[in-house]
Amino acid sequence: MKQILISLSIISVVGSLVISGTIAQFRDEERITGNVFQAGTLDLTVDDKNTPGLTIFNFSNIASSEKGFYSWKLKNVGTLTGFLDLSSISVIEDGGLHPEAERVIDTDNSGDLGETLHFQVWFDTNNNKIINEGEIIIHDEILDDFEVALYDIDKRLAAGAITYLTLRWELPADIRNKIQGDEAKVHFTIELDQFAD
């Protein structure tokens, strides 16, 4: 009996060595280090400047039948795609000078320039100062109506991309003396948002 127990012990030791030898595994490890999370950026420049509160244009001494334009170069210098909108729009009018010819028809010297000045604003993709098919027209009415509109445009601007925001104005020929000396100031904010609203 003792011999049987010794034989069984030897068989089980040999068996476990054989089994462990047949199920041996190859193994290799690679350590992964230096992983980083970093937030992207949205950064809009206007005419290659990153300064809030820019005064860009000053069209003064304009007369009936005159027109003009201005284009802003908008560039997304950030690392994320953004969406352009216009907000915080205000038109502030002042009767300004009140010459004798104006006093006859504008006795209170109210600011009337905004109700007569035709004002177009659009994303001028190729900066040719002409509204082309497919370009987003933001405003194409009198200046006073620019203030009351909401411009949630969501124009896509990829990281590193450039587009142009162009404004064209025209003062009609038939305005007479009502706007002599009047002034209209336009303020607005160009926003670059992460998501389309």
Q: Where are the domains of the chain?
A: 44-193
CATH code of the domain occupying 44-193: 2.60.40
Express each pLDDT in 24-72 by its tens digit: 688 889 999 989 999 999 999 999 988 777 767 788 888 889 999 999 9
Q: Answer whether residue 103 shows pLDDT above 90.
A: no
Are the C-beta atoms of 111 and 186 separated by less than 8 Å?
Answer: no
- Give the pLDDT score at 81: 97
Q: How are strands ordered across the β-sheet holding 151-157?
A: 151-157, 82-94, 183-193
Q: Answer whether residue 23 shows pLDDT above 70.
A: no
Express each pLDDT in 121-148 by its tens digit: 999 999 999 999 999 999 999 988 887 6
- Give the pLDDT score at 164: 96
Q: How far apart are CA 66 and CA 115, in angstroms?
A: 16
Q: What does the pLDDT average to over 80-86?
A: 95
CA distances, 11 to each of 2, 41, 189 (Å): 14, 70, 87
- Give the pLDDT score at 111: 66
